[in-house]
């Protein structure tokens, strides 16, 4: 199989890359006063699993989330005031995490574009 | 097609079908929620037949070693014998061989038990009085050789069980002991990496057990123990821990007192706060946190932020019974 026909998920490193990314990302989020109130600290195991799903989605990997799911699970946070500035902060940490893992810039761009595509659903627009 | 056995009953599992779906289809009452490995509510234990790697991927090493797995993610490759979480508990009979005070309010209870092969230091059991009154206590020794289980039981004002243990239970008395529970224990792997132990009050019980276990397995990485209380009089086994730290160059012990009166040789402050000032980076470390629930939950976050992986953080928070 030629490299270009592989999925982004495979090119970025598959599940191993997801596993490497989630904890780095979650640490950044928990230390960011702008957004950490949206992330549950009481059940960290569950948060890690959710973030795995998020990264798998951003890498274009196998995931079962629909736009409707995205709306439903974030509705409570939208009520708490979740808006574009918070989504921007998450995008920032997504990018920084992948840079830290030495993911090539063009692949980071692809992942960011996928994550960006769910912005309206996450923010309930 | 494979077969699933639970107690006396057998259930079939079709090709491509998960254990959870097979059991639900045949009207077995298994709790579940997400069916995609997120919530862990469908976790079962296999007593025979190894679970698939995929169904254990997200679990802690100690759970994997006991063959726990997520039934929603497990399409069995062979027949399995399963144990449901709500299956009635098996108790065995224990006999009290020692009860002596460790400090002004905590008793060391040693119970002789016949079959303790599967019991690990740091896990907990339910102890049950004749009339059914039951409480959970952590195992503070490595039971296999001595065939005894050791517990540290603090007298709680108005605590039915602890007052009974302190005031009435005698050497020679019988007490019922459940199967071992919990995943807070030592596995003899990654022996050259660090272990951080932080506990308050009788949270020392599981930690002392884990420490003994790790040292007896020749753990060579650094092991730091921080034991805290508000008053020095509520700490215990101080001399014993100091002695261990002299015998083992990789083990350090720091007793912490958060109240006003702090003697020489003790650190002032809460055990978790002191621990955070002493350890810089917890990447690759195993972290065990036992004691007050607030301490446990705060320290869990802090240990994670200092680099410990979530799967390597083991917690055991006190539960005070309301009845």
Residues B191-205 have pLDDT tens digits of 999 999 999 999 999
- pLDDT value at position A23? 92
Residue A76, number of CB atoms within 10 A of its CB:
10
Q: For A51, name the nearest residue in chain B, comparing CA atoms only.
A: B38
- Please state the domain count of chain B: 3
Tell me if A6 is assigned to some domain.
Answer: no
Contacting residues of B for A50, CB less than 8 Å apart: 38
Are B218 and B284 members of one domain?
yes
- pLDDT value at position B31? 84
- Check: CB of residue B209 under 8 Å from CB of residue B148: no
Tell me if B203 is assigned to some domain.
Answer: yes
Q: For B54, name the nearest residue in chain A, comparing CA atoms only.
A: A15
Tell me if A5 is assigned to some domain.
Answer: no
Best interface-test mutation with B: which of A15, A16, A20, A23 has the largest number of B CBs within 10 A? A23
The angle that helices B204-216 and B238-247 make with each other, rounded to 10 degrees, is: 20
Query: Who contacts B248 (Cβ-Cβ below 8 Å, separation ≥6)?
Result: B215, B223
- pLDDT value at position B323? 55
Long-range contacts of B260-265 (CB under 8 A, 24+ apart): B261/B231, B261/B232, B262/B232, B263/B232
pLDDT tens digit string along A59-112?
888 776 777 788 988 999 999 999 999 999 999 999 999 999 999 999 999 999
Cross-chain Cβ contact B304/A46 below 8 Å: no
What is the domain extent for residue B52? 2-83
Are B216 and B298 members of one domain?
yes
For A31, the closest of B36, B38, B305 (CB atoms) is B305
Are B118 and B71 members of one domain?
no
pLDDT tens digit string along B239-289?
999 999 999 999 999 999 999 999 999 999 999 999 999 999 999 999 999
Tell me if B189 is assigned to some domain.
Answer: no
Query: Global pTM?
Result: 0.85
Distances in Å between the Cα of B266 and the Cα atoms of B196, B232, B255 are 18, 8, 5
Tell me if A110 is assigned to some domain.
Answer: yes
Cross-chain Cβ contact A23/B305 below 8 Å: no
Q: Which residue has the higher pLDDT, B253 or A53?
A: B253
- pLDDT value at position B322? 61
Are B102 and B72 members of one domain?
no
Cross-chain Cβ contact B36/A64 below 8 Å: yes
Rounded to two decimals, the ipTM of the complex is 0.84
- Please state the domain count of chain A: 1
Q: How far is B299 from chain A (nearest CA, A)?
A: 11
For A41, the closest of B36, B39, B301 (CB atoms) is B301
The answer on pLDDT for B89 being more than 50 is yes
Are B118 and B10 members of one domain?
no
The answer on pLDDT for B66 being more than 90 is no
What kind and span of H or E run contains A59?
A: none
- pLDDT value at position A2? 44
What is the domain extent for residue A99? 11-122
The angle that helices B293-305 and A14-30 make with each other, rounded to 10 degrees, is: 120
Tell me if A61 is assigned to some domain.
Answer: yes
Residue B88 — very low, low, confident or very high, per pLDDT cuts 50/70/90?
Answer: low
For A45, the closest of B36, B305, B310 (CB atoms) is B310
Mean residue pLDDT across chain B:
93
Cross-chain Cβ contact A45/B301 below 8 Å: no
Are B16 and B73 members of one domain?
yes
- The alpha-helical segments, DSSP class H, found in chain A are 8-12, 14-30, 44-58, 67-79, 84-100, 105-117, 119-122
Are B206 and B293 members of one domain?
yes
Q: What percent of chain B has pLDDT over 70?
A: 98
Residue A5 — very low, low, confident or very high, per pLDDT cuts 50/70/90?
Answer: low
Q: What angle do CA B230, B234, B235 make, to 5 degrees?
A: 95
Cross-chain Cβ contact B297/A48 below 8 Å: no
Are B247 and B208 members of one domain?
yes
């Amino acid at each position: 199989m030629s490299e270009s026909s592989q999925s982004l998920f495979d090119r970025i490193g598959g599940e191993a890359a997801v596993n490497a990314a989630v904890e780095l990302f979650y640490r950044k989020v928990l230390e960011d006063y702008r957004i950490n109130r949206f992330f549950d600290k009481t059940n960290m195991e569950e948060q890690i699993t959710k973030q795995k799903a998020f990264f798998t989605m951003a890498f274009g990997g196998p995931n079962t989330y629909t736009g409707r799911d995205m709306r439903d699970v974030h509705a409570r946070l939208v009520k708490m005031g979740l808006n574009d500035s918070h989504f921007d902060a998450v995008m920032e940490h997504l990018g920084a995490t992948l840079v830290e893992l030495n993911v090539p810039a063009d692949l980071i761009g692809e992942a960011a574009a996928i994550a960006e595509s769910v912005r309206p659903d996450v923010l309930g627009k | 097609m494979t077969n699933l056995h639970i107690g006396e009953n057998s259930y079939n599992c079709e090709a491509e079908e998960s254990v959870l779906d097979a059991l639900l289809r045949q009207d077995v009452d298994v709790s579940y929620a997400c069916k995609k490995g997120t919530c862990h509510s469908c976790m079962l234990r296999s007593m025979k037949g190894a679970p698939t790697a995929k169904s254990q991927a997200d679990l802690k090493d100690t759970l994997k070693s006991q063959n726990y797995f997520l039934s929603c993610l497990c399409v069995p490759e062979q027949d399995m014998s399963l144990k449901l979480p709500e299956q009635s508990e098996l108790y065995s009979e224990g006999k009290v061989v020692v009860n002596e005070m460790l400090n002004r309010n905590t008793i060391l209870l040693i119970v002789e038990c016949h079959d303790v092969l599967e019991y690990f230091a740091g896990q907990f059991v339910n102890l049950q009085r004749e009339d059914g009154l039951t409480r959970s206590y952590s195992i503070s020794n490595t039971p296999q050789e001595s065939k005894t289980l050791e517990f540290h039981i603090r007298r709680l004002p108005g605590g039915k069980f602890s007052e009974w243990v302190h005031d009435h239970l005698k050497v020679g008395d019988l007490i019922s002991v459940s199967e071992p529970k919990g995943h807070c224990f030592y596995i003899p792997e990654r022996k050259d990496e660090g272990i951080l132990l932080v506990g308050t009050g009788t949270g020392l019980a599981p930690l002392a057990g884990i420490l003994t276990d790790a040292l007896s397995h020749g753990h060579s990485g650094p092991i730091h123990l921080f034991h805290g209380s508000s008053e020095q009089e509520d700490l215990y086994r101080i001399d014993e821990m100091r002695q261990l730290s002299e015998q083992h160059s990789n083990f350090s012990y720091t007793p912490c007192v958060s109240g006003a009166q702090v003697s020489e040789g003790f650190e002032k402050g809460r055990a978790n706060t002191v621990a955070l000032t002493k350890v810089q980076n917890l990447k690759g470390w195993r972290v065990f946190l036992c004691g007050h629930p607030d301490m446990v939950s705060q320290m869990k976050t802090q240990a994670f932020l200092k680099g410990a992986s979530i799967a390597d953080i083991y917690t055991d928070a006190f539960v005070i019974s309301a009845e």
